[in-house]
Amino acid sequence: MNIQNQLQATVEALVQQGKGILAMDESSPTIAKRFKPIGVESTEENRRSYRSMLLATPGLGEFVSGVILFEETLGQKADDGTPLPALAAQQGIVPGIKVDKGKLALANAPGDEITEGLDGLALRLESYKQQGARFAKWRDVYHISATTPSRLAIEANAEVLARYASICQTLGIVPIVEPEVLIDGDHSIDRCAEVTEAVLHEVFHALHCYHVILEHMLLKPNMVIPGKTHAQKASPEEVAEQTIRVLRRTVPAAVPSINFLSGGLTPEEATANLNAMNCLAPQPWDLSFSYGRALQQPALQAWKGNAGNAASTQAALYLRAKLNGAARHGSYSVTMEPAQE
């Protein structure tokens, strides 16, 4: 298959009715943060057994079309010796890989950050592809404050995302482009809308400059929401309206799918917001999910590091995947949530 056909086939496998992406690509410090509240030490073995358990969830492929893995996971095996990317593929789930190397302070832009990892990226991608990865993810972050993100941060991060995406496509790897405007802060939903619009505008300008084929990428943005410590929460309908307005102003119709990150929303909020967006008039792109915490949180709570809890852990993940699958059609309702104990 030539490169263009490879990209097209991967996009078609990822963008499917009623399905979205499971992000389980937490870096070592982040997975340690997720394990800590349930009293689990982040050892290589604990990470392997947790992640292989998630990938073995019966029926996961009904609602999950792709999974984003961390580099370490790509080389790990399930108890029976099946490589974890192959375990995903057996479920009809396309394996992908997080390829950025994290973020650091952006020089001369106080409070802003830039994502690293372009050096040697093409070589790394070749080897990830050998290990079964068909798509990749790169995340940039933007902090909202009175002075951030600066123009410099918006332009520098857009450029880096576009360079990453163009390198991926050259090698037949579908890039997920993830510019995340963070939830931290007390800003209003309008301020989040303003920043998200400026960020996405710049990202698509850079993607154009770098000749990225929009049909062969996915966008993974934040939803437009008020800051975590803002006085007022927004209803799913308000989030949907504000988010869609910004996306319609900035994201070309050629992009096949927009797969939101959950970014610190509760699992229920993330599902309800996605559902509300899919209840609005049809949009030029699919509106789907690429959640990490919003899919995994209940599973982590059920697991608690105990292999004996595998069935309830998998059931918790399956339920969240199913509810988000319903939100893809706008047919989710809170009455589908399990009763709170």
| Cβ atoms of residues 130 and 142 within 8 Å | no
Q: Give catalytic status of residue 33 as yes or no.
A: no
Distance CA 84, CA 72 (A): 10
| Rounded to 5°, angle at Cα 196 from 327 and 229 | 80
Cα-Cα end-to-end distance for the chain = 52
Considering only the stretches 11-19, 36-44, 196-204, 255-263, report the one whose residues sit in contact with ligand 13P under the rule CB under 6 A. 255-263
Considering only the stretches 47-55, 58-66, 186-194, 260-268, report the one whose residues sit in contact with ligand 13P under the rule CB under 6 A. 260-268
When asked if residue 263 is in the footprint of ligand 13P (CB under 6 A), the reply is: yes
CB of 324 to ligand 13P, least distance (A): 11
Residue with tokens 């199913």: 322
Considering only the stretches 33-41, 163-171, 276-284, 291-299, report the one whose residues sit in contact with ligand 13P under the rule CB under 6 A. 291-299
Binding mask 22-41 for ligand 13P (x = CB under 6 A): -x------------------
Among residues 19, 137, 220, 322, which one is catalytic?
220
When asked if residue 196 is in the footprint of ligand 13P (CB under 6 A), the reply is: no
Which alpha helices (DSSP H) does the chain contain, by range?
3-14, 28-35, 44-55, 71-74, 84-90, 121-130, 151-170, 189-209, 236-250, 267-279, 293-303, 310-329
Both structure tokens of 275: 């559902």
* Nearest CB to ligand 13P, comparing residues 23 and 64: 23
CB of 293 to ligand 13P, least distance (A): 3
Residue nearest to ligand 13P (CB): 292
| Cβ atoms of residues 233 and 226 within 8 Å | yes
Q: Give catalytic status of residue 220 as yes or no.
A: yes
When asked if residue 303 is in the footprint of ligand 13P (CB under 6 A), the reply is: no
When asked if residue 261 is in the footprint of ligand 13P (CB under 6 A), the reply is: yes
- In 3D space, the residue among 200, 281, 269 whose CA is nearest the CA of residue 239 turns out to be 269
Buried b (16+ CB within 10 A) or exposed e, 73-109: bbebebeeebbbbebbbebebbbbbbbbbebeebeeb
Considering only the stretches 78-86, 114-122, 202-210, 287-295, report the one whose residues sit in contact with ligand 13P under the rule CB under 6 A. 287-295
When asked if residue 139 is in the footprint of ligand 13P (CB under 6 A), the reply is: yes
- List residues with catalytic annotation: 178, 220
